[in-house]
Amino acid sequence: MTGKTSRTHYRLLVHAAVPKEIEAIPAPLRTRVKNVISSLVEDPIPVGASRIKGRVNAYRIRVANYRVVYEVHVTEIVVYVVGVAHRRAVYKRILRRK
């Protein structure tokens, strides 16, 4: 008997500024960032994700010197990508967004 595991796939929502932020990243890292974001649908809190203090359900994932900042809303089954920025700018720009 072949057993299938039913995994919940999260819906992915992206802030309007995220596509432009991704395009500003150097090409080799751009693909890695896109892969990390798309993988959040299956595993919203993967190994390597860190919780952001002071924000409810907020996490970050490190991709070289860039950070993908996102929120996980379990009750709605949604992952909301807030932004992608260089580590120096992430806390100044991204965490101010709603």
The answer to the question of residue 20 being in a domain is no
Q: CA-CA-CA-CA torsion for 33, 38, 40, 46, nearest 10 degrees? A: -50
The answer to the question of residue 22 being in a domain is no
Q: How many helices and strands (H and E) does the chain possess?
A: 3, 5
pLDDT tens-digit series, residues 65-86: 999 999 999 999 999 999 999 9
Res 1 pLDDT > 60: no
Q: How far is Cα 73 from Cα 42, in angstroms, rounded to an integer?
A: 14
Res 56 pLDDT > 50: yes
Q: Tally the domains of the chain.
A: 1
Q: Which domain range does residue 49 map to? A: 27-96
Q: How far is Cα 10 from Cα 46, in angstroms, rounded to an integer?
A: 13
The answer to the question of residue 37 being in a domain is yes
Single-letter amino acid, residue 66: Y
Res 91 pLDDT > 80: no
Looking at residue 54, its pLDDT comes to 85
CATH of the domain at 34: 3.30.2310.20
What band does 8 get if pLDDT is binned at 50, 70 and 90?
confident
Distances in Å between the Cα of 74 and the Cα atoms of 5, 22, 87 are: 19, 25, 27
The answer to the question of residue 6 being in a domain is no
pTM for the structure as a whole: 0.86
The answer to the question of residue 3 being in a domain is no
The answer to the question of residue 13 being in a domain is no
The answer to the question of residue 87 being in a domain is yes
